[in-house]
Amino acid sequence: MKTLLILLLVLLDLGQSLGAFHRVPLRRRQSLRKKLRAQGQLSDFWKSQNIDMVQFTESCTMGQSTNEPLINYLDMEYFGTISIGSPPQNFTVIFDTGSSNLWVPSVYCTSQACKTHPVFHPSQSDTYSEVGTSFSIQYGTGSLTGIIGQDQVSVEGLTVSGQQFGESVKEPGQTFVNAEFDGILGLGYPSLAAGGVTPVFDNMMAQNLLEFPVFSVYMSRDPEGGSGSELTFGGYDPSHFSGSLNWVPVTKQGYWQIALDGIQVGDTLMFCAEGCQAIVDTGTSLITGPPHKIKQLQEAIGATPMDGEDYVDGMQFCGSGFQGLDIAPPSGPLWILGDVFIRQFYSVFDRGNNQVGLAPAVP
């Protein structure tokens, strides 16, 4: 009887951890950086945006407004599909834990980027209502501006009613023209949201669409299509990780910010000996940190600097997974644990207990 009781408790716990969740498939496509490099346009793009072109490479065998560092989106490769309105209008978005707004291009957008992506038509939705307030998101290469509308938003069987979202009418320069995604769905805390908009996930919780106030991210290491990658709303899937989840408290509710005890290179503790702050960010491809520390790290792993002029068609190299990025106070300094990290560690974002769960991801 005691054994049966223990078994039932284990099964109950497993059921709670899994939850009645909704899987959102994520596809892996070529990043904007890779696309521009393949077209021989990366160096010109960097020059036009006044971006520091010095990157690092490792040797390899041939074979209201809110601020968001847009440069990170050059490397984004994992995207999912949502729909807005009734009947549904589909968009490819980045599910971004480093921001909190949902926005897509508007039919009234005047930028070149909107001509290469689907646009939202308010007049074609029976459930749309105009809010009319303006919003602006400041990026490293310009500002995204538009108006706020309200409609139903559906994500793989979950339909949020009355969701406020941004309809962009002006997008910065050439940045989004060749991007594989149409817009961004932010999964950060409400304090990050421009215009005081309630984020999609908060409305999911408020409308009782989820059994548990949790979402989780698995990013496959499959280099082609990212087969099996998924975002899960309402729980997590133990088949995607080995061992047990290590729960780390959120230290500041804006980004999904946690404390790091230290950063080692090999067996050597190189940074954060007294602890530092980091964010787990699905909207950043690489691992970033203060530029002077990243430079030391690059040297420690044997990476060598490479100017943007050196990117030529047909060149083969292995890019370092680290990038220097200054995040100014009061938010910074912060390290960012992006997709390079999340591919290695299955990540669970728990709003109920304000904590992040991490465990080694199953390849």
Rounded to whole angstroms, what are the CA distances from 273 to 114, 268, 276?
A: 46, 11, 8
Q: Tokens 């100014």 belong to which residue? A: 328
Burial 90-113 (b: 16+ CB within 10 A, else e): ebbbbbbbbbbbbbbbbebbebeb
Find tokens 């023209």 and name the residue: 177
Q: CB–CB of 202/320 below 8 Å? A: no
Contact at 8 Å (CB) between 121 and 91?
Answer: no
In the beta sheet, which residues pair with residue 265? Answer: 268
Q: How far is CA 4 from CA 7, 8, 10, 15, 18, in A?
A: 5, 6, 10, 16, 21
How far apart are the C-alpha atoms of 199 and 178, rounded to whole Å?
27
Length of the chain equals: 363
**Distances in Å between the alpha carbon of 317 and those of 85, 152, 321?**
44, 45, 13
In the annotation, is 75 catalytic?
Answer: no
199 DSSP assignment: P
Phi, psi dihedral angles at 75 (to 5 degrees)? -100, -5
Cβ count near 118 (within 10 Å): 15
Among the listed residues 182, 202, 237, 281, the single catalytic one is: 281
CA dihedral in degrees (179, 180, 185, 187; nearest 10)?
A: -100
Tokens encoding 363: 């390849």
The answer to whether 350 is a known catalytic residue is no
Q: What DSSP element (H or E) covers 257?
A: strand 256-260
Q: Are 96 and 184 in contact (CB under 8 A)?
A: yes
From 96, 151, 182, 350, the catalytic residue: 96
User: Which residues are catalytically annotated?
Assistant: 96, 281
